[in-house]
């Protein structure tokens, strides 16, 4: 049996961490769905920056849309949503068949809004309406300023993928925002079913401490953070507060493993897939990682619901002075800054392309 199917059967869903027009045009995404049990996908500014700069697949759309005179940001949004609508339509049958569990695509609000609560909410509402698909998650960063926007978006009925989470505390803050949003809907007599996922970034932890962690702890910090957070996730789902909401018909906000491509060339290329096998979660994989796991991945069990040896591992990191709480905050800031950098690069790329196309030089 394909290893990806094994993960699906144990209760974990796999999403593709990529989208390009070529993936849609040549049938690759459909093959991933059929062969590798892919049940959703995610996007971010870095992915679109690479996709739009990697060839001429978007040139016709830029040329045609540019004649209408939209801003570079509005032009990008429509081009990206064209791709995401097509992907959402491929996933729509499984979305319907699973009652909304599977078949999701995700698009991020502008990273420039990461510290703008009102702006993030307004952008999420607009994007959700503009997409016109029931199976599109709007991604909002789980920054301190983003939490209120997340709660308000859930209350408004917008499915949300909370992104840029790096620690258990950050995950729990995002979960709290989701719970409050659902509780407000119930109090208002609204349908309690608004889907959400909370995306915990993994590999960036190990990259951040690669030069400071003891050699024997190499590539173990991200997994330990994941184990600790999975324990908190399972405890939340067992809590009386959640059980009350579940009894009212609400669906859980699922924990999603993000940034699961191996950064260390000396580490197994399937490391963060095999170690993060956990029922009730999602793992979103870069194409390279998906292909590697499908080819030679092996499962040796599932993640312990009690966190396993996470606390012992984290205690070992504390000895040389690695403060995981401070590092989590820094990683979130760095992640937001990285997306802003990619966003600016993307806007510049679109501006240059539309100018060149208008002059007949591309």
Spatial separation of the C-alpha atoms in residues 314 and 205, rounded to whole Å: 12
Is the Cβ–Cβ distance between 187 and 314 less than 8 Å? no
pLDDT at res. 252: 98
Q: What is the DSSP letter of 269?
A: T
Spatial separation of the C-alpha atoms in residues 256 and 175, rounded to whole Å: 12
| Helix, strand, or coil (residue 239) | coil
pLDDT at res. 362: 46
Spatial separation of the C-alpha atoms in residues 198 and 220, rounded to whole Å: 21
Spatial separation of the C-alpha atoms in residues 125 and 138, rounded to whole Å: 9
Structure-block tokens of residue 147: 């939490």
Left (φ > 0), alpha (ψ -120 to 50) or beta: where does 100 sit? Answer: left
Give the other-Cβ count within 10 Å of 73's Cβ.
14
pLDDT at res. 54: 66
Left (φ > 0), alpha (ψ -120 to 50) or beta: where does 157 sit? Answer: left
pLDDT in tens, 245-269: 999 999 999 999 999 999 999 999 9
Domain locations in the chain? 3-358
The catalytic site residues sit at: 139
Q: Where are the alpha helices (DSSP H) in the chain?
A: 3-10, 21-25, 28-36, 45-53, 59-66, 72-97, 117-131, 144-155, 168-187, 203-208, 221-237, 240-247, 271-274, 287-296, 310-318, 324-358
pLDDT at res. 67: 63
pLDDT at res. 361: 55
Of 134, 86, 107, 102, nearest to 37 by C-alpha is 102
Sign for the pseudo-dihedral over CA of 318, 320, 321, 325: negative
CA distances from 255 to 76, 258, 320 (A): 29, 10, 30
Regions of the chain where pLDDT drops below 50: 362
pLDDT at res. 66: 59
Structure-block tokens of residue 169: 């505390």
pLDDT at res. 230: 98
Spatial separation of the C-alpha atoms in residues 132 and 84, rounded to whole Å: 10
The structure's pTM equals 0.94
Classify residue 310 by burial, with Cβ atoms within 10 Å: 0-12, 13-18, 19+.
Answer: buried
**What are the two backbone dihedrals, phi and then psi, of residue 202, each rounded to the nearest 5 degrees?**
-110, -60
∠ CA 232-146-176, nearest 5°, is 30
Q: What is the DSSP letter of 111?
A: G
Q: Which CATH architecture has domain 3-358?
A: Alpha-Beta Barrel (3.20)
Spatial separation of the C-alpha atoms in residues 108 and 90, rounded to whole Å: 20
Q: Which residues sit opposite 141 in a β-bridge?
A: 163
């Amino acid at each position: 049996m394909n290893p990806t199917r094994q993960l699906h059967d144990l209760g974990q869903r796999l999403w593709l961490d990529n989208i390009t027009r070529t993936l849609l045009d040549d049938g690759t995404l459909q093959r991933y769905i059929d062969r590798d049990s892919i049940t959703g996908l995610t996007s971010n500014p870095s992915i679109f920056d690479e996709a739009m700069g990697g060839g001429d697949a978007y040139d016709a759309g830029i040329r045609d849309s540019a004649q209408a005179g939209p801003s570079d940001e509005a032009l990008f949004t429509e081009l990206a949503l064209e791709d995401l609508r097509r992907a959402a339509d491929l996933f729509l049958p499984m979305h319907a068949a699973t009652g909304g569990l599977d078949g999701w695509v995700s698009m991020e609000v502008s990273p420039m809004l990461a510290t703008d609560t009102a702006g993030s909410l307004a952008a999420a509402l607009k994007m959700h309406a503009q997409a016109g698909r029931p199976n599109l998650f709007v991604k909002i960063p789980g920054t301190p300023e983003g939490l209120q926007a997340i709660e308000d978006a859930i209350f408004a009925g917008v499915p949300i993928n909370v992104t840029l989470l790096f620690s258990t505390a950050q995950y729990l803050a995002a979960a709290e925002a989701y719970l409050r949003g659902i509780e407000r809907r119930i109090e208002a007599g609204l349908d309690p079913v608004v889907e959400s996922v909370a995306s915990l970034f993994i590999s960036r932890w190990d990259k951040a401490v690669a030069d400071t962690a003891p050699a024997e702890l190499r590539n173990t910090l991200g997994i330990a953070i994941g184990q600790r957070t999975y324990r908190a996730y399972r405890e939340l789902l067992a809590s009386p507060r959640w059980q009350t909401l579940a009894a009212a018909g609400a669906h859980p906000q699922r924990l999603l493993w993000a940034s699961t491509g191996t950064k260390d060339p000396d580490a197994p290329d399937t490391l963060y897939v095999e170690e993060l096998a956990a029922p009730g979660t999602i793992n979103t994989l870069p194409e390279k990682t998906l292909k590697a796991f499908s080819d030679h991945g092996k499962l040796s069990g599932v993640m312990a619901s009690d966190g396993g040896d996470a606390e012992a591992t984290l205690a070992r990191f504390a000895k040389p002075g690695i403060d995981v709480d401070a590092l989590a905050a820094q990683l979130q800031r760095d992640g937001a800054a990285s997306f802003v950098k990619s966003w600016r690069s993307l806007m510049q790329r679109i501006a240059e392309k539309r100018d060149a196309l208008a002059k007949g030089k591309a």
